[in-house]
Structure 1
Amino acid sequence: MPRTPNTRLTLLMEAGGWGPAQFAAALRGAAAEQGLTLTVHLTTVRRWLEGSQPRPPLPGLILECLSRRLDRCVTAHEAGLTRAPGPLVDPAWEADPMRKLFHLTHAELDPHRRALIGAGVLTATALALPAQDRIPARSVDSARAGRRATASDVEQLRAMASVFAASADQHGGQRMRAALAAYLAHEVTPLLHAPAPDPVHHALLAATARLALLLGSMCADSGHHAPAQHYHQIAARLAADAGDPTTLAIALRTMATHAHDLGQHTPAVLNLAEQADQHARNAPPAVRAYTHIHLAVLSAHHDRHATVAALARAECLHTEADVEPGPFSRYPAGALHYQRAQVLATLKDHTGALSALTTSLRLRTETERLPAALTRARLAETHLRLGHLEPALTHWHALIDIYPTLHSARADQRLTTAVQYLRPHRRHTGVTDLLDRITEVTSPPR
């Protein structure tokens, strides 16, 4: 049967000043940000304009590109994607966070639904906070039923957060993601609906927000950026409901970090970092250093003077921080120097970035196996950018030594990037050996 031309998509592309070739290039760029490789060309776009329907994850990418270009949210209906599946989870800030958490965690335990949610993409329009930068508060459910929740339940949630965080630092987020989702679905969510004194209920909300943050980071480490964004947003909402500005600051900072790592340096992302810093103003020095250093990372794309001031303030705050146990009460020195390197690299001070990364690696503890591996990857890339081939090879070999113990899409991506960096030097014997090792550790078993 003849297809009906998609005039809605044509009009949106024209409004954005895009022809088919330019739109295809924008889609490939947006896909690359999120670790996806797409075969989309001029002829592909022309087929859509003629009426064929793209398959996931393309509908999400199409809407994301058009929304960025037109600086507003473009819906599937508006773009003529009539047979594209709608979002399985409402991305709006106003959506009930507990309902979203219920649906997402149960979807994590269903392979088919997990694949559908994982096929989504990070949405730049959802990074913008509501009007006046206020996180909407959920109305309190007074009809809670079941066994009474107690302070010991809160302590259990906090203890489990430490367990899951330690595992993710050691091995990456892919393996523990389903376990944390199951824990949230079957143990934590019922507690949020249990009768409890208000202080206990608020503490449960805050502890759940931190577990949701960890699950979001595990999803991001698995290369599934849409559910990661949902979990981070849920965490911010739950922290706001709990009246916990410190956890809210950590959640907003995590959202900004996730977007930055995917190449988003827009004013909306900078605003997330600024709001995180504002909410952390009465937090312990470790949390204030944590939010302030990322404010420096994002400011480096906008204002050099503000960047230098934010960096100095973060370093000063870190010297005031007490060394406390727990993933949400301490900020490791190795992480601070890693982000300092990000700031310096953005400011084109690659020698300074190399020094900061070297310090970061030296300060990594045995429990920070994944962060240390990612630091080595950045060290290798920075060395090669400065023309230091031999030290770069040393760090990449060290990364490969530890790689089999990691289950992380970020580690996978760093090895893919290593191959791209090394191709111009492939006639060098040491490079050939390294490329052979990369092929060996990344090839699927026969």
Structure 2
Amino acid sequence: MGGNGSGTAEKRPNAQLGSWFVRSGWSKGELARQVNRRARQMGAHHISTDTSRVRRWLDGEQPREPIPRILSELFSERFGCVVGIEDLGLRSARQSPSVSGVDLPWAGPQTVTLISEFSRSDLMLARRGFLGTSLTLAAGPTLIEPMQRWLVPVPAAQAGHDAEPGQERGRRPARLSEPELDLLEQTTAMFRQWDAQCGGGLRRKAVVGQLHEVTDLLQEPQPEHIAKRLFNVAAELAELAGWMSYDIGLQPTAQKYFVLALHAAKEAGDRPLGSYILSSMSRQMIHLGRPDDALELIHLAQYGSRETATARTQAMLYAMEARAYAGMGQPSKVKRAVRMAEDTFSDTVPGEPEPDWIRFFSEAELNAENAHSYRDLAYVAGRSPTYASLAEPIMERAVELFGKDPEHQRSYALNLIGMASVHLLQREPERCAALAQRAIPFAQQVRSERVNTRLRKTVDSAVREYDGVADVIRLGDELARQLPESEAV
């Protein structure tokens, strides 16, 4: 039987776990069922928890891994914020630095080794969430302080870290041709396009496999200019693996990939790419209810790329800054950041050469981010109709533009749901139901836990608030029929 305690001597009731449990509103049986379901999803079929086992945890028994990780994930999702294992009064098994933590050495050979080990583990354990049970989701100073080292210049002694004794890197024969490198870069762009169209669940393993292959190439002798391009490819693939993991709900796994991506971007000497990776980490922190951490990451990204990023990249960073301020309930700073995002985006030059990773930040995405900032601000301000009214026309524009863009089906679905939530804030249940109804077919098409979760939360809120409105009742029934919970990615 899974979940047996590691000792029973002098047990005391676990007040921390008990507090979170009471606030969750779950029964012991419901928590046991959720633990078992999550364990099956990760492939840990030996876990079989029941109400008596949950009672023993509350009484002070310390469960074995992966139970503490599962409980941390379940409570984090329930409350929309990071609820760490220690917050639950539980202990976790110590992991080696290559598997756990984000405070990693900033040096090329170690970065390659860590990416290789992590991607190999991910591929070998290829069960949903299994790798995540060996990770801790970092937040606060534990996350921010190591990321600040991204700005520290690489010591000159490390500039030729791959060089063999007595041999200059620049004089090495190329092991990889320019056409082969071009193909690797094109493949990365193709993976990114698939993610936008189909969600993170469909091609994640392929991206991780490609990343692992690139680390193999980086472990071979390469001329410096080839190695830099390979590090750039590795950074983009690791960021994409992180984004896909985030999209399907594997939060600790996502964070680890983002951190490794930032290390690779530093080795490539690509500050704008590093700022983009930090923005992805910021999005994850916003999703997890940590807007203060999100703001720290965005400010780090802005500072690190202020002289090298294009107008489009700078506009994206301002939009993410607005999202963080919205979560913190600071309306004047939200409005300023939104205005800066709009003004900076207007400075983009049509046809200007830009990296493929920033191509997603279109006029539609600009409107979507700014609308969500006002929508989030409305929630933080106690369902303020003022901020909801600011969100409405911008969100409508985002929905209109994404509706014309077949390459970004997930974004279209997310903004339909966002528009539905705005109408819910405006106490317009019929309009909310109509937009949520339009999102259901797209939720079925894209493999995205974010889409599924946001749709369910919006519909659940509508049903709770307007259980006497016929359109809302039909929507709840339709969602249960068309997208049953067992189909969640």
TM-score norm. by structure 2 comes to 0.76
Name the CA shift for 1:276/1:439 in 2 (closer, same or farther; >3 Å). Answer: same
Tell me, in whole angstroms, the C-alpha distance in 2 between the residues paired with 1:130 and 1:402: 38
1:310 corresponds to which letter in structure 2?
A
Residue 103 of structure 2: which of 83, 93, 101 is its match?
A: 93
Is contact 1:209-1:234 (8 Å) kept? Answer: yes
Q: Cα distance 1:275–1:42, how it changes in 2: closer, same or farther (>3 A)?
A: farther
Structure 2 counterpart of 1:430: 471
Asked whether 1:180 is paired with 2:207, we answer yes
Which deviates the most, 152-161 or 84-93?
Answer: 84-93
Q: Which residue of 1 aligns with 2:336?
A: 309
Displacement of 1:163: 0.6
Instruction: Note the C-alpha offset of 1:171.
Output: 1.0
Q: Pick from 350, 356, 362 the counterpart of residue 400 of structure 2.
A: 362
- Deviation string 1:328-379 (CA, Å, 9 cap, x unpaired) is 2432111111110122123330111122111111121121101000100111
Structure 2 equivalent of residue 116 of structure 1: 130
Shift of 1:157: 2.6
The verdict on how the C-alpha distance between 1:20 and 1:389 changes in structure 2, with shifts beyond 3 A counting, is: closer
Report the counterpart of residue 3 of structure 1 in structure 2. 8
CA change 1:65–1:427 in 2 (3 A) is: closer
Give the corresponding residue for 1:332. 362
Aligned match of 2:416: 376
| Partner deviation per Cα, 1:204-246 (whole Å, 9 max, x = no partner) | 1122101111111000111101110011001111111211111
Distance 1:4 1:391 in 2: 58
Q: 3-state SS of the aligned residue for 1:128? A: helix
Shift in alpha-carbon separation, 1:355–1:377, aligned structure 2, 3 A: same
Question: What CA distance in whole angstroms lies between the structure 2 residues aligned with 1:57 and 1:153?
Answer: 45
Contact 1:383 1:389 in 2 (8 A): yes
Q: CA deviation at 1:26?
A: 7.6
Aligned to 1:344: 374
Q: Residue type of the partner of 2:414?
A: L
Are the counterparts in 2 of residues 255 and 272 from structure 1 also a CA contact under 8 Å? yes
Task: Mark the CA change 1:362 to 1:421 in structure 2 (over 3 Å): closer, same or farther.
Answer: same
C-alpha distance in 1, partners of 2:61/2:198?
45
Larger deviation, residues 206-215 vs 112-121: 112-121
Residues 419 and 238 (structure 1), Cα distance of their counterparts in 2 relative to 1, 3 Å cut: same
How far is the alpha carbon of 1:410 from its aligned partner?
1.0
Kindly indicate whether the alpha-carbon contact (under 8 Å) linking 1:93 and 1:135 is maintained by their aligned counterparts in 2: no
Q: 2:452 aligns with which of 400, 407, 412?
A: 412
Q: Distance in 1 between matches of 2:51 and 2:344?
A: 49
- In structure 2, the CA distance between the partners of 1:416 and 1:148, relative to structure 1 (3 Å rule), is same
Q: Is the 8 A contact 1:162 1:326 kept in 2?
A: no
Structure 1 counterpart of 2:420, which letter?
A: A
Counterpart AA for 2:218: L
Alignment of 1:127 onto 2:156: no
Q: Report the equivalent of 2:119.
A: 105
Q: 1:338 to 1:353 in 2, by over 3 A?
A: same
Distance 1:264 1:294 in 2: 13
Contact residue 3 and residue 51 of structure 1 kept, 8 A:
yes
Instruction: Tell me the CA shift for residue 197 of structure 1.
Output: 2.2
Q: Number of paired residues?
A: 421
Q: Is the 8 A contact 1:135 1:236 kept in 2?
A: no
RMSD: 3.6
The 3 A distance-change label for structure 1 pair 52 and 346 is closer
Question: Quick check: 2:125–2:131 contact (8 Å CA) kept in 1?
Answer: no
Counterparts in 2 of 1:28 and 1:273: CA distance versus 1, 3 Å: farther
The residue that corresponds to 1:33 in the other structure is none
Asked whether 1:441 is paired with 2:466, we answer no
Equivalence for 1:71: none
Residue ranges of structure 2 left out of the alignment (5+ in a row): 27-32, 37-49, 77-83, 379-386
Structure 2 residue 429 is the aligned partner of structure 1 residue 400? no
TM-score after normalising by structure 1: 0.82
Distance 2:271 2:116 in 1: 23
1:125-173 C-alpha deviation (Å, 9 max, x unpaired): 4421338654565942224999713433432232112111111111101
Taking the aligned partners of 1:110 and 1:131, their CA distance within structure 2 comes to 28
Structure 1 stretches lacking a partner, 5+ long: 30-35, 67-73
- The one-letter code of the counterpart of 2:185 is R
Distance 2:334 2:284 in 1: 19
Q: Are 2:274 and 2:301, in contact at CA under 8 Å, matched by a contact in 1?
A: yes
Judge conservation of contact 2:262–2:277 (CA < 8 Å) in 1: yes
Deviations 1:286-309 (A, max 9, x none): 111111211122123164433332
Within-5 A mapping of 1:47-446 = 47=57, 50-59=60-69, 81=91, 84=93, 86=95, 89-95=99-105, 96-111=110-125, 115-119=129-133, 120=135, 122-125=137-140, 126-130=142-146, 133-134=149-150, 139=158, 140-143=161-164, 148-186=175-213, 188-266=214-292, 268-282=293-307, 283-300=309-326, 301=328, 303-323=330-350, 327-330=356-359, 331-348=361-378, 349-364=387-402, 365-424=405-464, 425-443=466-484
Deviates most, 324-333 or 252-261? 324-333
Identity among equivalent positions (%) equals 20
Give the structure 1 partner of residue 30 of structure 2: none
The answer as to whether partners of 1:172 and 1:408 remain within 8 angstroms in 2 is yes
1:205 counterpart letter in structure 2: F
- Farther-moved stretch of structure 1 (433-442 vs 367-376): 433-442
